[in-house]
Structure 1
Amino acid sequence: MEESALGLVLIPLLAVMAPLLARLIGPVLRIPVVVFELILGILVGPALLGWVHPTEILHALSEFGLAMLFFLAGTEIDFAGIGRKSLTRASLGWLFSIVLGIGVGFLIAPGDGMIVVAIALSSTALGTLMPILRDAGELGSPFGKAVTAIGTVGEFLPLIAISIFLSVRSAPLATVILLVFVVLALLAVYAARRIPHGRFHAFVNATLHTSAQFGIRFVLLLVASLVALSVVLDLDMLLGAFVAGAVWRIVMSSASKEDAEQVESKLEGIAFGFLVPIFFIYTGVTFDLKALLASPMAMALVPLLLIALLVIRGLAAQFSATEGMSRRDRSALALLAATGLPIIVAVTGIGVDNGMLQSDIAAALVGAGMLSVLLYPLIGMTIRGERAAVQAKSLQGEL
């Protein structure tokens, strides 16, 4: 009980420390806040200081945080803005990734683990990249749209693969169940597009600054409903959270800009101010550092898997490179596409729980994912250059 109480105090403390450390080091080196959250989680976890241990309540809050991360990623996706052509090219790139990933998986985890490794190495952390792109003013630029297309496919298709190939059911039955979910999701999207939103938006506006907070309550219901549907159908819960984000974007597309921004701000406050930091810190707490350090092979795999992420996702990203992109932009695109962690954490957890993957190999994959979050966005945005970011901000201002 005392350990649980200590964790409930320390994790919010670490969540406060992480942005302070990022700001302190910012003038010298721009490091994403999630990196500090992961490192602090490892520091206080069982592997080092042993101040925080996994508990049911922290695990549940972490799962909510991961769901909200994917929900927000879903809200950021403008399918019309990205374009069918960009999504098609990104999908072809992902298929290329999964083939290369299977090859790597065959070498380090033959058998069922091969699929786990392939899915992990074919993912891109869209939810982690979106705040970086937003802060740099890149969301509306051709470069930002290319990264968004790659990230959308790099989160959605791995979730589909998890639901089909890592389900307890046979692959044909899992595919049928997935199709049932897709049909229900499409019905939700259709309803969101067709049902008049006037009264809904009016009620959201009327409760924006009251204790009712109808808009936020509705979002939580939407996320809970689609996540619950995913769980009932034995699909990955993140699939439901992702679709919930896409549905919510459609619902709010006809709202006034001011109302939409206020609701978005409140949701980001709940997610990035509360739940998402818990997920990243708890990922650090539960990171099996002992298994990694005890296995020389796993230690050697970490840099190799980090390079594999860059090669596999970096080459796939070139399918999405637009005409006129410079070599620097293509390099930056490759580095951002190779940034992966949430899917890696989720899929390796499934692999270990189902006996498909050894814990040391899983730790090596998660370790590579952590390093990718630390290194690749930093190097990629540096290569992209400050001038490009300023131009992107100016372009958005003109529009």
Structure 2
Amino acid sequence: MSGGAQPLALILIPAAAVAAPLLADRLLRWVAVPTVVFEIVLGVLIGPDVLNWAHVDSLVDALSQFGLAMLMFLAGYEIDFGRLRGGPLRRAGAAWLVSLVLALGVGALVNRDPLNGAFAGLALTTTALGTILPILRDSGELSSPFGSLVMATGAVGEFAPIIAIAALLSGNSPARTAVILGAFAVITAVAVLGARRPRPAWATRLIERTLRTSGQFAIRAVILVLAAMVAAALWLDLDMLLGAFTAGIVSRLLLSDIRQEEEEEEVIEAKLESIGFGFLVPVFFVVSGMKFDLDSLLDDPGTLLLVPVFLLLLLAVRGVPAGLLAPAGLGPRDRVGLGLYGATALPLVVVITTLEVDAGHLPSSTAAALVGAGMLSVLAFPLVAQRVRGGARPSAPAGPGRERGRAESW
């Protein structure tokens, strides 16, 4: 890269991040397009395969990795496992296991290498929880029994693939991988127990005193948890995704009892989301677009044909089991809606394919087709789900968020 190219990339990447929500807002009167779709598309536009204005060097790649860690952290932070105990979580887990078996079978058919086929199939088992939660929240359904089922499906569709990635990318034998995951589970259990302990009075006072000052004790503590869990995962030869995701769960527990008159919990979460969704996460998705292998996708008609094939496979592998294994009392329209929401997948598809291409387990052309199918899924499946169930169109573009309403249990 020439000496003048990097400064241009440092301008164009945040410019693309700014343009993405503007474009999403302009299209809102016709269709709700998730901001992440525009981030990836704009990354493709400024990247080497189209305008060739910006390239990925070590600095840009490092920022992208920080964005990936923050994305997984916020995904873990969004999940409230306390709401999902019992039926919804058990059914979602069973549906994901069926999806995993189907996905591994599909992967074996499309790739002669069993390991590479497993990686390709794993991308079909994910669910874009951060994309579908705001849609349900805006329609007022997230606190309903149906919303609880969708949340459970999305939680498993994010957590379980991350565990699978950590196991597959370790390169260890199954026995050693089991031991390593067990060790990480012990570390996680200790962190969770520590997070659930009553916080000392001095810590509460310090959080309140520095919440709106340069001290920012609560934010620094959360970042320390993120760094510690990522370091623990890397130390155990696991992927950092598992550490970052677990750090989000631990941090949610750590901050769960902050409920003072000034609503410190909401302020802290807003600050974390500002760091993540305002800075680091958009960098990851724009850079992912810059890495997107558009040439191989367009040059080969067979590769381009894989996009609708993978879109149908997302629906068949992920959506059908989620709908069929729903509670017996769920109506046909709700089953179809649950399946469509469960098959909505993009962020983790980008994450998995990026890791697999970097590790040499997946051709960049296949990865491009999978990401293309993921983008189509977030555009089409939630909208169709709302139409099938008779819901209103969302009033805001789909993006990460959460809802704290109490849900009934199935």
- Range into which the TM-score falls when normalised by the shorter chain: over 0.9
8 Å CA contact 2:169, 2:239 repeated in 1: no
2:302 partner letter: M
Task: Indicate yes or no: 2:271 matched with 1:269.
Answer: no
Q: What CA deviation, in whole Å up to 9, does each residue of 1:53-80 have, x standing for no partner? A: 1122222222222222221221222212
8 Å CA contact 1:336, 1:377 repeated in 2: yes
Structure 1 residues 199 and 389, CA, compared in 2 at 3 Å: closer, same or farther? farther
Structure 1 residues 342 and 308, CA, compared in 2 at 3 Å: closer, same or farther? same
- Match of residue 306 from structure 1: 311
Structure 1 residues 7 and 95, CA, compared in 2 at 3 Å: closer, same or farther? same
- Match of residue 90 from structure 2: 88
RMSD over aligned CA atoms reads 2.3
Please show how residues 225-304 of structure 1 align to structure 2 within 5 Å: 225-256=228-259, 258-304=263-309
Distance across 2 between alignment mates of 1:116 and 1:398? 35
Q: Is there any run of 5+ residues in structure 1 with no aligned partner, and where?
A: none
1:344 partner letter: V
- Match of residue 341 from structure 1: 346
- For residue 354 of structure 1, report the CA deviation from its aligned partner: 3.3
- Bigger mean CA offset, 220-229 vs 348-357: 348-357
Structure 1 residues 198 and 75, CA, compared in 2 at 3 Å: closer, same or farther? farther
Structure 1 residues 130 and 225, CA, compared in 2 at 3 Å: closer, same or farther? farther
8 Å CA contact 1:44, 1:50 repeated in 2: yes
Distance across 2 between alignment mates of 1:397 and 1:330? 22
Q: What CA deviation, in whole Å up to 9, does each residue of 1:190-239 have, x standing for no partner? A: 11112435432332121111111111111111111111211222212111
8 Å CA contact 1:21, 1:36 repeated in 2: yes
Distance across 2 between alignment mates of 1:178 and 1:398? 32
Q: What SS is found at the alignment partner of 1:318?
A: helix
8 Å CA contact 2:143, 2:406 repeated in 1: no
8 Å CA contact 1:90, 1:150 repeated in 2: yes
Task: Indicate yes or no: 2:207 matched with 1:201.
Answer: no
- Match of residue 224 from structure 2: 221
Q: Under a length normalisation based on structure 1, what TM-score does the superposition of the two structures give?
A: 0.92
- For residue 309 of structure 1, report the CA deviation from its aligned partner: 0.3
**Percent identity among equivalent residues?**
48
Q: Under a length normalisation based on structure 2, what TM-score does the superposition of the two structures give?
A: 0.90
1:60 partner letter: A
- Match of residue 336 from structure 2: 331
Task: Indicate yes or no: 2:20 matched with 1:15.
Answer: no
Distance across 2 between alignment mates of 1:137 and 1:197? 37
Task: Indicate yes or no: 2:109 matched with 1:107.
Answer: yes
**Higher relative contact order by CA 8 Å / sep ≥ 6: 1 or 2?**
2
Q: Is there any run of 5+ residues in structure 2 with no aligned partner, and where?
A: 396-403
Q: What CA deviation, in whole Å up to 9, does each residue of 1:303-328 have, x standing for no partner? A: 10111001111112125634543333
Distance across 2 between alignment mates of 1:66 and 1:136? 29
- For residue 398 of structure 1, report the CA deviation from its aligned partner: 13
Distance across 2 between alignment mates of 1:226 and 1:32? 29
Please show how residues 126-205 of structure 1 align to structure 2 within 5 Å: 126-205=129-208
The match for 1:363 among 362, 368, 384 is 368
- Match of residue 72 from structure 2: 70
Distance across 2 between alignment mates of 1:388 and 1:341? 20
Q: What SS is found at the alignment partner of 2:24?
A: helix
- Match of residue 5 from structure 2: 3
- For residue 247 of structure 1, report the CA deviation from its aligned partner: 0.8
- For residue 155 of structure 1, report the CA deviation from its aligned partner: 1.2
Structure 1 residues 172 and 266, CA, compared in 2 at 3 Å: closer, same or farther? same
Structure 1 residues 43 and 398, CA, compared in 2 at 3 Å: closer, same or farther? closer
- For residue 261 of structure 1, report the CA deviation from its aligned partner: 0.8
Distance across 1 between alignment mates of 2:155 and 2:406? 25
- Bigger mean CA offset, 224-233 vs 311-320: 311-320
- For residue 49 of structure 1, report the CA deviation from its aligned partner: 0.7
2:36 partner letter: V
Distance across 1 between alignment mates of 2:208 and 2:335? 43
- For residue 290 of structure 1, report the CA deviation from its aligned partner: 1.2
- For residue 92 of structure 1, report the CA deviation from its aligned partner: 0.8
Distance across 1 between alignment mates of 2:111 and 2:194? 44
1:355 partner letter: G
- Match of residue 119 from structure 2: 116
